[in-house]
Amino acid sequence: MSSIQTLNANEKKITLKLKGFPLQYANALRRICLNGVPIFAIDTVDVIENSSVLADEGIAHRLGMIPLKTDVTRFDESDSRVMFVLDSGDIDTTKTITSADLSSNDEVVKPISDKIPIIQLAPGQKVKLEAYARLGKGTEHAKWNSANVSILTDSDKKDEHLLTVETTGALEPMEIVSAGIEELNRRLEEFKEDITNLDKWCSYCYIWVISGDDLMANQTVLHMVKDLKQASKKNDAPIWSKLASIALKTSSSKRVVNLTKINNLTKDGDVIFVPGKILGTGNLSHKITLSSFSISVNAAKKIVQSGGSILKFNDMITKFPTGKGVMILG
């Protein structure tokens, strides 16, 4: 039976004993605790006045790296924006501007300390700016890392692992772990759904195997090439012969096309064959009929959701034996 036990905890660090967890799940939780839990960080800076020796970009970078207290219960990534204002005013002596000089419009989202230095101003120098923080994850940029340290070690027992998480201060250590467990569960449910739908989305996909410069096409590809050549000869349709030739080329010769490009190059009702792999980047705004050598699960979902249809290559041949109306994309 799986269990989680707190061995020691304080405001900066927590150590947990994970019992009965497969190593891959324990390591996934470690990574999520490090950079998969959303926290606030300054992302946009509008400099109104800067007469200091530090460039605007340098100030923006320093502001972005200041850890900010985060309340994950009040915000979500799709709708999170907190404004900060910094105005040094006119000074007649050397002064160090710190995080204490940052004024937030939110009572919770503030720097974790008032003593973080930002810039030193000489007499007569001035800095005035507005900055905007949003929720993000460390997978996008290190400034959104929720933990400074997230380490997984083995215990003296076979089925036990020790997870140590040290917070940046944006969240309490236990908040990071709790949010990490929720995120891991969400990802596992999403993966389970993808696996369940794999036959539905990708039963028509064909994978080729390339080893170095030698063509090592597997039996599936050879079978596809044979059928394409026969269809070309039987129906006097050069398009199928052309696709057969492309299928036997090295992987570098095959095209990788995303949905953005397909959307831009097609119109409603088009029939296309992509002699390569289709990726799910972007969206499709109209219906198409499509076949390809390979396709990602995400791309297949979006095509079907837009009202389109995806055919196996042999179904494409049956429906369009002469290839008339079929466009090769890529």
- Specify whether the CB–CB gap between 323 and 240 falls below 8 A: yes
Q: What's the chain's length in residues?
A: 330
Burial label, 138 (beta-carbon count in 10 A; 0-12, 13-18, 19+): buried
% of the chain beyond a pLDDT of 70: 91
Strand partners, 206: none
Checking if the pLDDT of 79 tops 80, the result is no
Domains in the chain: ranges and CATH: 3-37+146-195 (3.30.1360.10), 39-144 (2.170.120.12), 201-328 (3.100.10.10)
- Residue 208: predicted pLDDT: 37
Instruction: Supply 165's token pair.
Output: 């998480």
- Residue 199: predicted pLDDT: 54
102: number of CA atoms within 13 Å, CB side?
33
- Residue 205: predicted pLDDT: 47
**Cα dihedral sign for 78, 108, 114, 48?**
positive
Checking if the pLDDT of 190 tops 90, the result is no
DSSP state of 111: B
Task: Please provide the average confidence, as pLDDT, over all residues in the chain.
Answer: 88
Checking if the pLDDT of 5 tops 80, the result is yes
Q: Give, to the nearest 10 degrees, the angle between helix 219-235 and helix 238-247.
A: 160
Give CA–CA dist 52/62, Å, rounded: 14
Q: What is the pLDDT of residues 269-299, one digit of tens each?
A: 999 999 888 888 889 999 999 998 888 888 8
Give 201's contacts (C-beta < 8 A, 6+ positions apart): 295, 297, 300, 301, 304, 310
Strand partners, 6: 16
- Specify whether the CB–CB gap between 144 and 136 falls below 8 A: yes
